Amino acid sequence: MTFGYSSSKRRGRGLFGWVLFIGLVIMLLVVLQQNRANVASVSLNEFNQLLENGKLHEIELSDTEAVATVPGGYATPSNQSRYDRVRVALPTGLSGNWEFVQRLMEHADVRVDQGGNLLMNLLLPLVPWLLIFAFIWFFVFRHIRRPNAPAV
């Protein structure tokens, strides 16, 4: 009788491990897809042309990049896909330059990104490590701890 209970308990732990592992993978994929959704990367020259032509509506400025909304959509020259937003990598220190920020403010609404959600900034770097440790725990250590375990 005890053997059946122990077996179902082990099966429950194994199922919980798989659910946890798959859940962490799905969470990582969802977070990564949200950051890349419908955004085209452009050069600083292309960004400047869009700004001068008045095609950028809202610009979110951070230390390393600027992400702008293009109301009519932006078609890339290479594959003719349409994007709602464009992203440009900024040289170091450019986002802190007042003349640059003032020029952006003349052409569009500018919001400054102060680093985003603190919780996401702490959890996002931990997700890959959690996946690695979960993999090691559920597939290596559990196998070693189990006596008379069959070889994999």
pLDDT band at 108; cut points 50, 70, 90: confident
Strands 82-89 and 65-75: antiparallel
Q: What is the CATH number of the domain that holds 104?
A: 3.30.720.210
Please tell me the pTM assigned to this model: 0.54
User: Could you read off the pLDDT of 80-101 as tens digits, one per residue?
Assistant: 667 778 888 888 888 788 898 8
Q: Is residue 12 part of a domain?
A: no
Is position 45 within any domain?
Answer: yes
Helix residue ranges, H only, 37-117: 44-52, 98-107
What DSSP character marks residue 116? Answer: -
Q: How many domains does the chain have?
A: 1
The 39-41 sheet, strands edge to edge: 39-41, 82-89, 65-75, 58-61, 109-112
Average pLDDT over residues 61-84: 77
With CA atoms as reference, report the closest residue to 105 among 141, 53, 59.
Answer: 59
Q: 22 to each of 27, 28, 102, 131, 134, how far by Cα in Å? A: 9, 10, 47, 9, 10
Helix axes 44-52, 98-107, angle to 10 degrees: 50
Residue span of the structural domain in which 68 resides: 36-114
- Please give the span between the terminal C-alpha atoms of the chain, in angstroms, as a whole number: 28
Local confidence band at 1 (pLDDT 50, 70, 90 cut-offs)? very low
